[in-house]
Amino acid sequence: MHNTYIIGRKGDIYIRDNAVSRHHAQLTVSHNEVHLKDLDSANEVYLVKNGRLIRFFHGFVQLNQSVVIGSKQYTINQLLGMVGSHRAA
């Protein structure tokens, strides 16, 4: 079984940020794996590794992995905790 969530201004994981596309990225959780995919967003998705931003297209990520979506940084775990919440900044 897997769950798929859209990250964006019109997504399951709502981010209120003009730098975020309506459908910015997709998170798919399947068994013990999490897959992140950029949905051809205008401002892209970046992994944070050793303090540097690395352009990210798609692949498996860890729950504690930090990513930049729009103008803010989140961990994958934080994003999953935002599912269904429209109060996120």
Decide if 37 is inside a domain: yes
- The sign one gets for the Cα dihedral 39, 43, 48, 53 is positive
How far does Cα 49 stand from its chain's mean position? 15
Residues of the domain holding 62: 2-81
Whether 28 has a pLDDT exceeding 80, the answer reads: yes
Residues 55-65 pLDDT 10s:
999 999 999 99
Give the mean pLDDT of 38-53.
96
Say which CATH number the domain at 58 has: 2.60.200.20
Whether 84 has a pLDDT exceeding 70, the answer reads: yes
- Among 11, 6, 4, 13, smallest CA distance to 88 is for 13
- Among 72, 63, 67, 41, smallest CA distance to 54 is for 67
What is the total count of domains within the chain?
1
Whether 88 has a pLDDT exceeding 50, the answer reads: no
